[in-house]
Amino acid sequence: MKKTILLSLTTILLSTASFAYDANKAEQLNGFYSHLTQKTCADSKMFVKADSIMKMYRDNKDFTLLDIRTDSEANIVALSAKNALHIPIEKLFTKANLNKLPTNKPLIVVCHSGTRATMAAVGLKELGFKNTQVLKGGIIALSATDTPKNAPIQ
């Protein structure tokens, strides 16, 4: 008898939880993601290649590299360029840190491989940071592209 009651309660709780979601948030997400067809994704200007970043450095373009890796990752390999800004993703979406981000020039989001940067860039675009792009391949791609031929001239 106890097993039957426990099983019934568990079933009720699990079925209730499976239908519990934030309908307003789902509507917002649907509005954002519903236009992401195969064509719009293929034509997206959201990603920038590492060699393009090196060219931007060589051409003295005004942009910001936003490194969202953890403090530990940044302590091992850091972006030390004058236009680099390090804000770990777990601290990025606070008012104080969002106020540090430029709105009038390209903002290139960087992580280790590009996955976290993509998530962060989507969030930043949702908030109105329209000039946000992602470094395709992350810091791995950037370090592979940093050769004597491509490196910015000092």
Q: Which residues pair with 67 in a beta bridge?
A: 86, 110
> Residues 6 or more apart from 36 whose CB is under 8 A from it?
none
- The predicted pLDDT at position 150 comes to 64
CB 110 within 8 A of CB 65: yes
Topology (CATH) of 44-145: Oxidized Rhodanese; domain 1 (3.40.250)
Domain residue limits, the chain: 44-145
- The predicted pLDDT at position 12 comes to 67
Residues of the chain with pLDDT under 70: 1-3, 6, 8-20, 41-42, 148-154
Tens of pLDDT along 76-121? 988 888 899 999 999 999 999 999 999 999 999 999 999 999 999 9
Give the closest residue to 51 by CA, choosing from 141, 153, 115, 154: 141
